[in-house]
Amino acid sequence: MEKDNMELKMPPDKASSSQLPVLGLSAKRGLDKENVPEPKKKRARGPGTAATIAISHPRVPTMATMPRVKKQEAAQKATLKSGPWHTTAANTAVDPTTTRKGPSKRPAWDVKGQLCDLRKEFSACQEQTEVLTRENRELRNQLGEAEQHTKTLNAENKALKAENKALSGELSEVQVQAKQDQLELVKLGARVLELEELLHNQEGLIQSLQEEQLRLQAERRDLVIQLEVQTTQLQESTAALAKSQAEIITQAALLAERTEHLHGLEMERRYLHNQLQELKGNIRVFCRVRPALPGELEPPSGLIVFPPGPNGASDPPTRLSLTRPSDDRCSIIGGLPGPPVRYDFSFDRVFLPGSRQNEVFEEVSLLVQSALDGYPVCIFAYGQTGSGKTFTMEGGPGGDPQVEGLIPRAVRHLFSVAKKLQGQGWSYTFVASYVEIYNETIRDLLASVGGARKCQGGECEIRLAGPGSKELIVTNARYVPVTCEEEVESLLHLARQNRAVARTTQNEQSSRSHSVFQLQISGKHMGQNLHCAAPLSLVDLAGSERLDPGLSAGPAERERLKETQAINSSLSTLGLVIMALSNKEPHVPYRNSKLTYLLQNSLGGSAKMLMFVNISPLEENFSESLNSLRFASKVNQCIIGTARSNKK
Ligand code: ADP
Ligand code: MG
């Protein structure tokens, strides 16, 4: 468009002078070839075709757009400048043959001829003018068409540009969208990968779940089979159980019957056992002669003899005879040695020096059992110091089980029998205490070692356990519940330690004091609503030896004499109490000594008492042995009334 405008502004002279003849030629050619309007073709070809037309047009509009006057002037100027001959090309175009025979060959005088030529030329010019006019018209038409076409093209171009712009906009939008889509695509690609991975995982999971399912199904099948088997078994078992239950009910009834019967038997046993014990005597005296110890002078033969029983050696020994050697005093008086004197004694049982601890306990065990049946049992060891009392009650040194004494053996026996009686519905509890009575003072042997050796927290006094109770207890002394022999053993160990301390600090007090081990036994039979309680007392008495009054001179001796008197007093009180009980005297002097007062409940009518009289085999101890045997004999003659079990 701009190109067109520029060409239109060009100076008209240049355009006309240089282009007019060519225009004619080109106009011809244009008519033939280029200037034939082909609107349909151009429209079809679009912008490219329009550009071709725009290039070929300038020569046409130069003339076409000139004003008519200017065109004529231009034509005249061209004629004048070049003369009529100058337009050879135009003439040649009209008639080339006449142009070769031009005016140059006419003589000057041939005016006619020249006129003729001019006329010809004029007519040619006229023709040419007509031609040109025609051409001009055609060109105008063409120009009009071209302008129209250009307008159309411009409109098209404009539309195209608008379209182009719109498309560009669209394109950029599309590009932005494409970019976004691409990003989205990338994202989607990543997401797809992610999902694929997830899918893969899920597939793996599904596979494993499927496998698990298969496994579980198989397991389930097995379990179903097992269940069926077990259901069958259960049904069988239920049937068997029902049968068993019926049997159990029968058995339970039988058991109850038998338990009742057993209980009856047990009560009968207790009764018979007690009868037996009573037949043996509620007060029994056993004599035990210890062997001579290493380093001691062997006693002369015949000093102590053990006469056999009526059935000979098969009878357990019950007798012993002491034969006093010749009396020197007699020889002085009479001039001759006095005859030996024999003292015969008979007891419930006599244990020879060789007797072992278990043999001794065998004789005692049934008596101990009476304590479980609810009869108070009291066992004493009486004798001079060194005669074997402690050995008999507690045992020998070194913790050798062979030489264990009555206390550990009795306790073990009680625990074992109590356990058996559990099966018959009896349950037992045991509470242990261990005190010693020195010079009418009570001390707790279970107090902590190194303590004041007195009772914990104050003086030990004998008191009633409670108002209305007949049970006696020692205040401030320990009463330890025990459930097994080990516990009792540790208590005995503690007591031994306490006594050992006393031995060093208080001049052999242990042999000068009575030690009293007591086990409070209580049993319950829930089914029969029975209750029994009784103490088992095992007493290691103080040495019974008398002190020679001639020897007591200094304060130590006087103290010793006082001790001895206290011992003798308590021992004689014991004898008196036994006598009083035996003689059924209205007053029993229990309170005359701490020992008898403490043992009051173990010595009464229902109680069973056993006294060991321990004898030294030595000749030097003859007199003391005799005294002990005499005391024991007195006791042995006592019969305490029918024992009654402490049953409630
Ligand atoms: P007591 O307590 O009467 O003073 P012991 O029991 O302490 O006398 O005995 C004194 C010594 O004799 C101790 O060494 C003890 O081991 C020993 N003994 C006592 N009786 C026997 C016995 N039957 N067999 C062996 N040794 C004994
Ligand atoms: Mg002793």
Any domain includes 523: yes
Chain-wide mean pLDDT for the chain? Answer: 78
**What is the SS3 assignment for 502?**
helix
419 alpha carbon, distance to own chain's centre: 37
Known binder of ligand: residue 390? yes
**Single-letter residue type at 124:** A
Atom number in ligand 1 closest to CA 393: 6
* Average pLDDT of the residues in 285-308: 92
Give the pLDDT confidence of 171-184 residue by residue, as tens digits: 888 888 888 888 88
Any domain includes 423: yes
Known binder of ligand: residue 251? no
Give the pLDDT confidence of 602-645 residue by residue, as tens digits: 887 778 899 999 999 999 999 999 999 999 988 887 765 554 44
Let me know: does 418 contact 517? Beta carbons within 8 Å: no
Provide the number of structural domains found in the chain.
1
**Single-letter residue type at 501:** V
Whether ligand 1 lies within 6 angstroms of the CB of 389 is answered as yes
Known binder of ligand: residue 385? yes
Whether ligand 1 lies within 6 angstroms of the CB of 391 is answered as yes
Known binder of ligand: residue 264? no
Distance CA 487, CA 499 (A): 19
Distance CA 447, CA 430 (A): 19
**What is the SS3 assignment for 143?**
helix
Q: In which band, very low, low, confident or very high, does the pLDDT at 259 lie, cut at 50, 70 and 90?
A: confident
Candidate from 286, 289, 290, 611 with most ligand 1 atoms within 8 A of CB, to mutate: 290
**Which of 518, 605, 598, 530 lies closest to 373 in space, CA to CA?**
530
Any domain includes 556: yes
Give the pLDDT confidence of 549-577 residue by residue, as tens digits: 565 567 777 777 888 888 889 999 999 99
3-state secondary structure 279-301: HHCCEEEEEEECCCCCCCCCCCC
Specify the CATH number for the domain of residue 362: 3.40.850.10
Question: Which has the higher per-residue pLDDT, 619 or 76?
Answer: 619
Whether ligand 1 lies within 6 angstroms of the CB of 511 is answered as yes
Known binder of ligand: residue 129? no
What spacing in Å lies between the alpha carbon of 515 and ligand 2's midpoint?
Answer: 9
Question: Which has the higher per-residue pLDDT, 449 or 355?
Answer: 355
Atom number in ligand 1 closest to CA 540: 2
Give the pLDDT confidence of 519-528 residue by residue, as tens digits: 999 999 888 8
- Give me the pLDDT at residue 309, please: 77
Give the pLDDT confidence of 164-173 residue by residue, as tens digits: 888 888 888 8
**What is the SS3 assignment for 42?**
helix
Nearest CA to ligand 1 atom 22: 290
Highest mean predicted confidence (pLDDT) among 96-110, 209-223, 490-504: 209-223
* Average pLDDT of the residues in 329-357: 79
What spacing in Å lies between the alpha carbon of 510 and ligand 2's midpoint?
Answer: 7
Any domain includes 403: yes
Q: Which pair of structure tokens corresponds to residue 593?
A: 């000594």
Any domain includes 477: yes
Please say if the pLDDT value at position 428 is more than 50: yes
> Which residue range forms the structural domain that includes residue 372?
281-295+346-450+460-637
**What is the SS3 assignment for 58?**
coil
Lowest mean pLDDT, pick from 29-38, 223-232, 603-612: 29-38
For the stretch 458-461, contacts whose Cβ atoms lie closer than 8 Å and that sit 24 or more positions apart, written own/partner, are 460/435
Any domain includes 150: no
> Residue 131 phi/psi, 5° resolution?
-55, -50
Whether the predicted model's global pTM rises above the 0.85 cut:
no
- List residues bridging with 613 in a β-sheet: 287, 382
Whether ligand 1 lies within 6 angstroms of the CB of 388 is answered as yes
Please say if the pLDDT value at position 24 is more than 60: no
Any domain includes 573: yes
Any domain includes 389: yes
Q: In which band, very low, low, confident or very high, does the pLDDT at 503 lie, cut at 50, 70 and 90?
A: low
- Give me the pLDDT at residue 598, please: 94
